[in-house]
Amino acid sequence: MIQAQFDPTARQNLSVVAVEAKVRKDLSWEQIADAAGLSVAFVTAAVLGQHALPAPAARAVADLLGLDDDAVTLLQTIPTRGSIPGGIPTDPTIYRFHEMLQVYGTTLKALVHEQFGDGIISAINFRLDVKKVADPEGGERAVITLDGKYLPTKPF
């Protein structure tokens, strides 16, 4: 039976244990995702408490990380989403994404609405990818792809 989690505490606690196991076993998120058979972005988000994993993926992740049967069950529950407490984020990496949306959020909204009309980009029917590429001017660049299904507003 599908279950939903209404108090994020259990998933947050599991995330702490899972990340500690990841570090102890010197695993990458890619290795964990490969074991689960799903994308690295989805599995990372799931282990960090933002998605439910299908049963086989939950079992594979738990086995790889050395987690118990309770963790397998909890990894399958639908979480209360949202991993950043209220206010402006203080972690520099997360803050930069906040800053990008402060600067470009209205631009993204204007361009999406001009090209698609009134509606939203789904974060449910969604894909995320992060790639490191060489910068022609030296160093490296991050290429982040947010790929969400467009859902039009429907008058009722």
**Helix or strand (DSSP H, E) at 47:** helix 40-47
The whole-angstrom separation of Cα 69 and Cα 21 is: 15
Listed in sequence order, the residues at least 6 apart from 63 whose beta carbon sits closer than 8 Å to its beta carbon are 35
The whole-angstrom separation of Cα 106 and Cα 72 is: 40
Catalytic option among 20, 24, 28, 99 = 99
Question: Given its phi and psi angles, is residue 34 left (phi above 0), alpha (psi -120 to 50 degrees) or beta?
Answer: alpha
Asked if 130 contacts 98 with a C-beta cutoff of 8 angstroms, the reply is no
Catalytic option among 20, 30, 96, 141 = 96
Residue 122 is a catalytic residue: yes
Catalytic option among 28, 30, 122, 127 = 122
DSSP three-state, residue 5: coil
How many alpha carbons lie under 13 Å from residue 154 in its C-beta half-sphere?
A: 3
Please list the active-site residues: 96, 99, 122
